[in-house]
Amino acid sequence: MSDAIESQLIRRFCRYLAVTSQGDTAASKLTRPHGQQQLAAMMTRKLTLLGLDDVVIDKQATVTGVKPGNRPGALCIGFIAHLARFSPAVPDFDLQAFHDRQQQTLAVAAELGRRYPDGNVTVTLNDVYSNAPGEYRRAIDLLLQALAALAVVPKIIPMRGGTDGAALSAKGIFIPDYFTGAHNFHLRFEFFTRQRLC
């Protein structure tokens, strides 16, 4: 990749990162903070400049657009990304292991309460991550075919990603996560390197 393209990508990434887009995890109804609306507006302009059709932003900061394919009869593929930076999560692939980790979190909170009786330790657990029911590989197979056509060797690592994909997957609309090069997902020190970005 050329230095000019790398520099452009880094500038664009830093511009998006400068927008405060944290969600309100205590909210009882679906709301989108101003920062998410601002970031969604930026995405809308960018997708329009890239030539996508029917680019629309709604009141919940959901941005949609259409990139027509050039292969008649090909299956449609949708890509989804969430705009917020979420609080720490406790995901797991196995349901029992997931419940065990929740209980461990509660046990740690109780132990901290015993050690520091003058403090106040509160843990609230909400089930927001879920895996797709059964096996559904169409989207994954399409991605692997595309990578093979480009002679890119995939590195397959099981993971559970964003809440948007998890919620849709649990409803039967399988949304696999495609790795973007980041590390320490949803943690305080989430990062990815310049080489991964470019």
* Rounded CA separation 58/70 (Å): 28
pLDDT classification of 44: cutoffs 50, 70, 90: very high
Write the CB contacts of 35 (distance below 8 Å, at least 6 apart in sequence): 19, 20, 21, 22
What confidence tens digit (pLDDT) does each residue in 97-119 have?
778 888 988 998 898 888 888 87
Helix (H, G, I), strand (E, B) or coil at 64: strand
Rg for the chain, CA atoms, rounded: 20
pLDDT in tens, 130-173: 655 555 677 778 888 988 998 988 877 766 556 666 666 666 66
Residue 114 φ/ψ, nearest 5 degrees: -70, -40
Residues belonging to the chain:
198
What pTM does this model have? Answer: 0.51
pLDDT digits (tens, 9 = 90+) for 66-82: 888 888 888 777 776 66
